[in-house]
Amino acid sequence: EVYAFLDLKVAQFPNLAEKIDIGDSWCKSHPGACVLPSPWNGYDLFVLHITNRNIPGPKPVFWADGNIHAREIATPEVVMRMIDYLLNNYDTNADVHWLVDYHDIWLMPEVNPDGHHIVEAGGNGNSPYLYRKNGDNVGGSGCSWPPTPFDHFGVDNNRNFPFKWGCCGGSSSIPASETYRGAAPASAPETAAMERFVNSRVIGGRQQIAVAITFHTYSELILWPYGYTFDALPPDMWPDDHYVFMALGQAMAASNGYQ
């Protein structure tokens, strides 16, 4: 249904929207490996690219994604509402018109479609499975099924990115853990696909992504880099960047009451 929505928006706005395949989920990358709750063949990883392609670039890039954690099933809808807002209001809202004309906007409702599939399998009148990670079941023998919040196979895509991978006590090396970081940096195909996309946005030696947001549903927090340290000014960040993050984060929190 999420992917059908993307197809619908492309059909409605062919000059502004295109659906881009940036990779495959773990289950699609491993045919026949995913059999719980029932056999399925995995998914493509789709991103909707929104811009007025008649206006040449390069343009500043905006990225937003949802459902990197499977059980946070409100987040795809947030990204879908962003897509609706930008496309449906293009002809009537001057700010939206400017954003779409002069920015490359990439919106990914489903980082982790395998995990979302598992969560929904617990539905049908019952509570959805509280499944968090991707579909990677290698090394997950002995994990419970149906999955429990703290014992299920898979890799936590959010802990699998190469930057500071495995550092600082923020992840686990145990496959059954809900924060399992994977066997190696970017070992999960979903994480690797996002990394490839980020690297592909470097044009003329300059990263074009100006703003990136990843949506979660838990804790009602606005988080900005870097999460591996409690330093007020992280040592890896230019002070100007830090203060921009702080100003944006505080403004966002003031808009919705988050911390």
Q: What is the pLDDT of residue 158?
A: 96
Q: What is the pLDDT of residue 235?
A: 79
pLDDT for 69-121, tens place per residue? Answer: 999 999 999 999 999 999 999 999 999 999 999 999 999 999 999 999 999 99
CB atoms within 10 A of CB 152: 27
Query: Is 80 exceeded by the pLDDT of residue 123?
Result: no
DSSP per residue, 7-35: HHHHHH-TTTEEEEEEEE-HHHHSTT---
Q: What is the pLDDT of residue 233?
A: 82
- Cα gap 243→253, rounded to integer Å: 15
Q: Determine if the pTM surpasses 0.85.
A: yes
Q: What is the pLDDT of residue 162?
A: 96
